[in-house]
Structure formats: structure tokens, C-alpha cells
Amino acid sequence: MGRKSTIDQRSGEFRAHVFKRLRENRLTLDELRAELEAQFPDEPPVSRSALGRHRASVEEMIAHEREMAAAAEALVGELGEDFDAKSGALLAQAVTTLTSRYAMGKLQSDAEMDIADVLDLARAAKTAQEARSLNLKERKEVERLAREKLLEEQDEKLKHAAKAQGMTEEQVDFWRRKVLGIGA
């Protein structure tokens, strides 16, 4: 097993600060080192090369996120639907892909995974599954509401046509139940 990077060995607050600053991409590595030494005097100093390696992995992750967002937007645009209609499923797939990729990367690099890593992966997998499930429920509800609206419109048209044609209530009931499937 490979050993953890010096950044991963630090406190959660320290790691979160490094990740935030690297995402912002406003400081040079030397400026970030100086800031970390000033803000976290109890933590041992981090080498410039360790920050550089960590920045490379953060940049790679951010690039993948941007690519997935752009791909999702392009696919949804190509399908002719608004972004919200298919983006939930695409987002769930992206989270699943990222989670799997992260786990495989950890396993392949022989990096030690602690219980926090495993819990984070489990939460991400659960969130992705919930997003898929919610998206399916939303689509089914939209379909149900559209069907109800269509049936209401057809029933109104049937009433108008029945009145104009002088149809009996028995004939209207036949068309409503057997042909349109309303109230069946």
C-alpha cells in the first residue's frame, strides 16, 4: 500500500481549506504555502511539490466535472428538451461515474482508504441512487398528470360532440368508457 499524501494526513479543516483555495485558483503554490503556515500554525508545513501534486488531482477532478456538465447540457439541448427534464438522470450517472472512478483510483494506487473515504463513497452512491429514483418518480407523475389532462380534454370534446350530434347518454357512455377509457 502506498502512503497517504501529506495533505491527506492533515485535519479536515486544513484539507477543506486547501481544496477551496485550489478550486479558486487565485494563489500561487508559494502563496498558498505561506497562507497555510499562517492560518494553521499547529500543522506541519506542506511541501510545494505536495501542493502541486494535490493541485493536479483537483484540477483533473474539476475538468471532469466541467466536461460532464457540458456534455449533459449538450445532450439535453440536442434532445430538444429543457435542461431540467433529463439533467437529473445525467447528473445521477455523472455522480455514479465519479464515485466509481474515485474508488478505482484509490484501489489502483494502493492508497489506503480509511472509513471516512468508504462512508463518503457510500453516501455518494446512495445520493446517486436517490436521484435516479426521484427522476423516475417525477417522470411518472408528469406522465400521469398529462394523461389526466388529456382525458379531461377528450371528455369535454365528447360532451360537445354528443350535444351537437344529439347522442343519447348510452352512446356517450359507450364512447367514454370503451373508446376513450375514461372511468373504465
Instruction: Indicate the angle between helix axes 12-24 and 48-79, nearest 10 degrees.
Output: 60
Q: Burial letters for 102-135: b for 16+ Cβ neighbours within 10 Å, e otherwise?
A: bbeebeeeebeeeeeeeeebeebeeebeebbeeb
Output the nine-digit C-alpha cell for 125: 452512491
- pTM, 2 dp: 0.42
pLDDT one-digit tens code per residue, 26-40: 989 999 999 999 999
The pLDDT, as a whole number, for residue 84 is 53
Class of residue 68 by CB neighbours under 10 A (exposed 0-12, middle 13-18, buried 19+): middle
How many CB atoms neighbour CB 7 within 10 A?
21
* Nearest-angstrom CA–CA distance, 120 and 166: 68
List the chain pLDDT tens, one digit each, 184 residues.
456 778 888 888 888 888 889 888 898 999 999 999 999 999 888 889 988 888 888 888 778 777 777 776 666 665 555 545 556 666 667 767 777 777 777 666 666 667 777 777 777 777 766 766 666 677 788 888 888 888 888 888 888 888 888 888 888 888 888 877 776 5
What is the Cα gyration radius of the chain?
28
The pLDDT, as a whole number, for residue 38 is 94
The pLDDT, as a whole number, for residue 24 is 87
